[in-house]
Each structure stands twice: as structure tokens, then as C-alpha cells.
Amino acid sequence: MRTADHLPYLVGASLAAIVASPPALAAEAVLNFTVAPGRLDQAIVAFASQAGLSVVFADPALGARRTAGLRGRYTVRAGLARLLQGTGTRFVFINPRTVRIEREAAAAPVARAAPAAPPAPAPPTVGDVPIIVTASKQGTPLERYPGAVEVVDLGGPAGRGLHRPADSATIVARLPELTSTELGSGRNKLFIRGVADSSFDGSSQSTVGQYLGDARLTYSAPDPDLNLYDITRVEVLAGPQGTLYGTGSLGGIVRLVPAQPDPSGIAASIQAGLSTTRHGAQGNDLAAMFNLPLGSSAALRAVGWRTVAGGYIDNPLLARPDVNRTVTEGGRIALRKTAGPWTIGIGAVVQNINSADGQYTLRGDPALTRSSALLQPFDNDYRLGWAQMSRALGGAALVSTTAIALHDVTSVFDATMPGGPPRKYCEEARITLVTHETRLSGRRHGRHDWVAGISLVLNNEAERRALGDPAAPAPLAGVRNTAAEAALFGEYTVPLGSRIAVTSGARLTLARATGESIGAFAVPGAEFERAHTIVRINPSLALSWTPGGRLVVFARAQQGVRAGGLAVRQDTMPPTVERFSSDTLRMVEAGFRLARPGIDTLALSATAFGARWSKIQADLIDANGLPTTANIGSGRLMGADARLTWRPTPALQIEAGAFLDRSTLDRPAPAYASAQDRDLPNVAEAGGRAAAAYRTALSPTVDLQVDVSGRYVGRSRLGIGAPLDVTQGGYVTGDAGVRLAWGKLGLSLDVTNLGDRRANRFSFGNPFGLAARDQQTPLRPRTIRAGIDARF
């Protein structure tokens, strides 16, 4: 359906939401509160989480004062007043969702006549204030977290999340140290800090753990590339994160933080846009959110979206233009209820990504064309259901989360040999992931942070393949891998004086892996391989020093592992089943963080790291172009990254970030010993980004927002050794956007790939043509989007 077909429903839904949405303040909601007595800053964080508010201290020193706590049913205003009683502080609502805590003696603001010129709006903020790293599982303030972390705001001016479509590519573009393959939406692998195993999808576990809140999204699947509409922020923790997150977090974790159901009032938002791509087809997008209170202590929040990315690759052989059209549609729903001391939530996510063809071309062909005998569609169907219960227990917080994900990924490739009849290769992966975690966290004496918990994981993946006549390809040997894990984990922070703290932790994991050859050519007598059971301990140790002035200096050492499994080699007859071992990554990092990005006038951070990666498991392509997995040897990684955020005026924010990486396979497996260049795949030696966001008021009713950004993507290689040692990257690209806002209504115009560059971002598209070393993936040509957004 074209965007024009959606417009009557869009307008109707907008008018209905306006009529049905009376103004409501969060302060009027009646909720159940359980806040333990103690330091005021700790109590305020707990209160804000239960009330769904953002809270900022006018003076951070106020956080050291003591409060008697709060328990019972109150309106938000009454609860705040009771919580602050006797602390010598008071609260001021800056807006319906943001509160400032200030000294009780502070003078009330004096009403003044409106100035002749409209003032600039308040400076942007990042997520909740103060910035809390919820991915630490302990609610650690950013200024005390002893490790590298990035918090990407999707609601403020720099995030542009309220009026422009956002997905994984949005986060990759904003964080130079986060990279991905470029096979296409729903087909990519994410990497952090050069911890990259291969450029191909397969049965090995991901190096980056992905989460929606506390629900795990994937285990051994490509990035599901969820739409980020109504996601408040994204937290990226550099890895390994083996202590808190277990296997599959060698590179780190990416955690999406969704907006919570809000019982304080009805709310809705909507965005829509039309786009056109130079040399390509038109596209459109539509997303909407609706929040419905269910009494005073429960609410339902629903989000839906549909995005059409117009194609820009032509297939002259089939006489079809713009073949690589991609449609993404789906939704999220969440229900949250407070019942006595408990907060209970359930939710679900559904998303389907359908690509009509690949987005790669061949060197020597005319630009943006590829002649293939067959179309090569791709389908990624993702389902997630989750349930969570939480409550305060004295001075601690209990959180228990269970989730189940069903993930079906289907790929089709043109396997036609030169001069031969058309051949089609089909690959289907069906994945079921069940996870559970129960944890207890708290803070003793104001500075002793701790967390302890249990974790259970069950992942089953079955891969089936077929190759041959396009009408009826013949089945090939497939594989089923099942991984079951049970773990105990804990972490504790011990202060050494007033400025130094040591954080130590460990995770004890019992893992059981089984593998099975399925489909055609199964090995006689080896249809089922005996279970492989191992016990792992992943320790961690971190040191933080806070000399003052919002400066934290930190050092951290941690270990992470991935589960092993079975792989099928199709280049033998009959095919053979081989086991690949678990790999281990040990990393040491040191760095500093000065001030809070987006809040303080100047914020700086920098980190240097080194790592040893043993028995690297990698998804590969065999001599026949078919997927397999193997251990390729051991390697080392070294690098550094830095970031600056500067607000020279309240209206202007400037960001810059850069990284340097050096990774090599220094102890290769025999098959790679002769390779001259052993850089790990898809890892550029350097990259960077610079951006500026400007926001001002043109009149008392009209705001203007302008943002520009530029990004450099360094050169990398597709893989190690011929024929994979082909280069990619090495380009600069820029984006720009402008938005005019009249209250809650906005109009925007965005341009991506301003220079209409034709650079090669990925040297892969079809495994059956790798030997020719002529594949390339061009940047999407210049694309212009006009959009409208509204909040009610």
C-alpha cells in the first residue's frame, strides 16, 4: 500500500486522538510507591522509575541528604512531597514529565513580561537526568560506571527519533565504534570495537548481545533490526560482558530502552513520510503510538509501523527496475500494572522484513545494475513475547524476566553457473530462544552497589538448505544445534575511601550443547552427536577513581565466551559434520569520562583497550559457495576511541567521535597460515563522525531545528585469505535535516548521502559469485524524505 493510501487513516486517527485526549499531568496519577529510606539521590532514582518521570537535581550535593522513604498509594505530587519531607528540598515540575529538586530556600521565580525576541528553548538532555546506565543491571549513574558505555538519545534533537524512522543503521551511523555488515536490513551482523568473527551469517553465536529492556532478542541470529519508534534511548556497553550477560557478549551488548506504559493519561503520537531516491523508486513510512490508562495503576502502550524503502538496483537481464525494494512492518505492545508492592509487565513484538532482491552490484557492469538470472528475495520474521515482575525488597530491587523469541530467516541466492541453466539456492533458519533471568540488586551505605542473579537460556536452531532447479531445488544436508545454559552471576562494588571504588564479579555457567545432522546426506551412524557439557567461570574486575569535577577514570578486565556447535561441510561427498569449539575473549581497557554528554557544556571520554581472542569461531563459505562454520585460529586486538560533546550555546550542540582499531589473526589455523593479510574481517583501522544540532525559536509558536553530520568509514576486508581478501569501505558520507515545529506538530525535510556517493560499503552479496571477487554494495543514492509528525 502506498503512503497516499494511508493518509485518510492517518488523518482520521490524528483527529480522533485529538478529540479523545484530554490534557493530563503525570503529577495527577495515583500510584503505589515503595521507596527504601536512605540517601536522597538513591531514593529519587527509585521514585522516578516507579512514576515514569525524569528527575534532575539543581545541586548534586543535595543527593547526599537522607530521606525516610515512601510506601503506599499517593499521587505523584503528594508522594514527592512526602519523600522530600525533612530533607530541606522541594520539587518543581519543569514539564509534565520532568521534575527538578532544589533547595527549599530557593526563591520562587518572578513572573516577567515576555521579551521582545523569543528565547532559545531549553538545551537538549540525554535520556533520564541524571543519566542512569540501566544496562549495568544496578541503575548505576553514568559518572560512576567503570567502563566504556554510550547512551544514544532517540527523543532529543540529536536523536530525531520522534519524527524520522530509526533502526540499527541509525545507531551504527551515530557510534563509530559500532559497525555492521551491509547485506541488507534484517541480514546484518553487528560488531563493537572490532570484535568481528566473519562477514557471513551462519550458526555461530553472535558476538553482540541484543536486548529489548531485559528481554534477550537473539542468540545465533542476525540483527532483527527492530524499528526504534517510541524507543527512548539505546545503551551500548563495550564488551566482553560475560559476567552480567553471559555467552554471546564478546563484543558487548546493545540494549533498547522502550517508553513505558503511562497510567497518568491518554497519549498518542504519529509520524509519516514520503521519500525519493535518486536513480531509484519512491518510499514511504508510517508509525504511530497510543498509550491508554487502565485505571490509576495500569496502562497499555501500543506501537505500529510500516516502512517501504524504494529499490535502486536495476536488473537488465530480467528487464526489471529497482528490484531491491524492502518492506518492514510490525508493532510492539506492552501492558504494565502496579499491584501492591509488585509491578507486573507483559509485552510482545512482531516484525516482518521482506526484501525483493539483494542490494549488491558487480564491478564492470553499469552503475546500480546487476544482471542475475533469478531474483534473490530475503525474509526475516521475528516474534517476541515477554513477562516481567519487579518489586522493592527493603533496600533492594527484585526483577524477574522471562521471554521467548521465534525467529525465521529465509534467504534465496542465484546459484547459476556461467553458461549453465538457472539454479536456485534456498536457506531457511528456524530459531526458538527461551530465556529467563531473576536478579536482586541494591546499594549498601550509599556506595556499595551489588547485583546477584540466575539466568537460564535454551536456544534451538535448525538450518535447512536446498539447491537446484528453481521450480524444485533438491534438499541438502542441514544441521540442528541446541544450546542450554544455566548460570549464577554476581557483581559487587567496594569503596576504597571516598573517591576510589573496586567492582568485582563472576559468572558460573553450566552449558550443554548438542548437534544433529538433518536433511539429505546425513552421515550414517552419526545422525545424533553426543551432548557436550562444559563449565565456565567468567570473572571481571574494574577500578574507578572520581577525583572530582564530574571526572571518572576507570580500568576494567573481563572475559567472555561463546558456545560451540556443529557445522556441515558440503564440499565433501557425502557431506561431513564437524564440531567447532567455544571461543574465549579476554580484554583489558582503561579510560576516562568527563561530565555528561548533552547536559554539561563540555563532555569528553576516551578509552584504550587490548584483547586476546582464542579459538575464533567464524561463519564461512566453502568451495561450493555453501555456508559452514569453523575455528580459524587465535588473534589479538588493540584500539582506542574518543568522543566529545560541546554545547557552546544553549541552542547549539556539537558532537565528534573517532576510533582506531588494529586486529589480526596472529595464530592462524593451518588453512589460513599462508594468508598475507590477516586482519579480522569487516574491521576498519579508523573511522569517525562529526555532527551539529541547532535549535532555536523563530517566534513564540515556531521552533526551528537543523542538524548536519558527516561520517568517515575506513577501509576493511571482507575476510582472511583468497578469495575473501577484497577491500571495502574507505569513504565519507554526509546527511542533513531541518524541522519546523508548531507546538506538537512538526514538518521535516531530511537528506541522506548528500554527495550521492557510489562508494563500496560491502564486498559481498552472493556466496556463489565470491570467487570472481567482483561484488560490491553501493551506498544508497541520495535520498530525500519529507515528513510530518504529531504528538497528542
Q: Which pLDDT score, from 0 to 100, does residue 112 have? A: 40
Average pLDDT over residues 768-786: 95
For the stretch 434-485, pLDDT in tens is 999 999 998 876 668 899 999 999 999 999 999 999 999 999 888 888 999 9
For the stretch 739-769, pLDDT in tens is 999 988 999 999 999 999 999 999 999 999 9
Nearest-CA neighbor of 313 among 300, 332, 326, 299? 326
Nearest-CA neighbor of 513 among 479, 476, 541, 472? 479
Q: Which pLDDT score, from 0 to 100, does residue 120 have? A: 34
Q: Check if the beta carbon of residue 215 is closer than 8 Å to that of residue 400.
A: no
In angstroms, the first-to-last Cα distance of the chain is 26
Average pLDDT over residues 223-241: 93
CA distance 502 to 632: 36
Torsion, Cα of 393, 399, 402, 407 (10° steps) = 170
For residue 507, give the 3-state DSSP assignment: strand
Judge whether residue 109 has pLDDT over 80.
no
Nearest-CA neighbor of 212 among 347, 18, 113? 347
Q: Check if the beta carbon of residue 30 is closer than 8 Å to that of residue 296.
A: yes
Q: Specify the amino acid at residue 307.
A: T
State the cell numbers at 765.
552479496
Q: Check if the beta carbon of residue 380 is closer than 8 Å to that of residue 187.
A: yes
Residue 62: CB partners within 8 Å, gap ≥ 6?
40, 41, 87, 89, 101, 102, 103
Q: Is it true that 1-108 and 252-791 share their CATH fold?
A: no
Report which of residues 783 and 3 the model is more confident about. 783
Report which of residues 223 and 133 the model is more confident about. 223
State the cell numbers at 745.
506538530
Distances in Å between the Cα of 683 and the Cα atoms of 194, 301, 534, 687 are: 5, 39, 31, 10
Q: Which pLDDT score, from 0 to 100, does residue 599 have? A: 77
Distances in Å between the Cα of 221 and the Cα atoms of 207, 409, 410, 458, 626 are: 10, 8, 12, 14, 17
Q: Which pLDDT score, from 0 to 100, does residue 200 have? A: 92
Nearest-CA neighbor of 136 among 34, 241, 63? 241
Q: Count Cβ neighbours within 10 Å for each residue of 75-84 and write b for 16 or more, e otherwise.
A: bbbebbebbb
Judge whether residue 671 has pLDDT over 90.
no
**Cβ-based burial of 95 (10 A; exposed 0-12, middle 13-18, buried ≥19):** exposed
Q: Which pLDDT score, from 0 to 100, does residue 162 have? A: 61
Q: Which pLDDT score, from 0 to 100, does residue 57 have? A: 77
Judge whether residue 228 has pLDDT over 70.
yes
Identify the bridge partners of residue 428 per DSSP, sorted by sequence position: 410, 464
Q: Which pLDDT score, from 0 to 100, does residue 727 have? A: 95
User: Which region among 75-79, 178-182, 303-307, 504-508 has the lowest average model confidence (pLDDT)?
Assistant: 75-79
CA distance 459 to 438: 18
This prediction has a pTM of: 0.83
Show the 3-state SS of 53-89: CEEEECCHHHHHCEECCEEEEEEHHHHHHHHHCCCCE
Phi, psi of 570 (to 5 degrees): -90, -5
For the stretch 402-419, pLDDT in tens is 999 999 999 999 999 988
Q: Which pLDDT score, from 0 to 100, does residue 625 have? A: 80
Looking up cell 533502526, which residue turns up? 167
For residue 8, give the 3-state DSSP assignment: helix
pLDDT > 70: what percent of the chain? 88
- The length of the chain in residues reads 792
Which stretches within 691-752 are classed as H helix? none
Domain ranges of the chain: 1-108, 252-791
Judge whether residue 545 has pLDDT over 90.
yes
Average pLDDT, the chain: 86
Q: Check if the beta carbon of residue 234 is closer than 8 Å to that of residue 171.
A: yes
Fold of 252-791: Maltoporin; Chain A (2.40.170)
Judge whether residue 368 has pLDDT over 90.
yes
State the cell numbers at 359.
542490494
What is the dihedral sign for C-alpha 534, 461, 239, 495? Answer: negative
Q: Which pLDDT score, from 0 to 100, does residue 249 have? A: 92
Judge whether residue 678 has pLDDT over 80.
yes
Given pLDDT bands bounded at 50, 70 and 90, which one contains residue 44?
Answer: confident
Q: Which helix (H) or strand (E) holds 297?
A: none
Residue 369: CB partners within 8 Å, gap ≥ 6?
313, 314, 315, 316, 361
Q: Specify the amino acid at residue 299.
A: A
Helix and strand tally (H, E) in the chain? Answer: 5, 47
Judge whether residue 22 has pLDDT over 80.
no
What is the per-residue DSSP string for 560-574?
EEE--EEEEETTSSS
For the stretch 256-291, pLDDT in tens is 999 999 998 899 999 999 999 999 999 999 999 999
**Cβ-based burial of 530 (10 A; exposed 0-12, middle 13-18, buried ≥19):** exposed
CATH class of residue range 1-108:
alpha beta
Judge whether residue 221 has pLDDT over 50.
yes
Judge whether residue 568 has pLDDT over 60.
yes
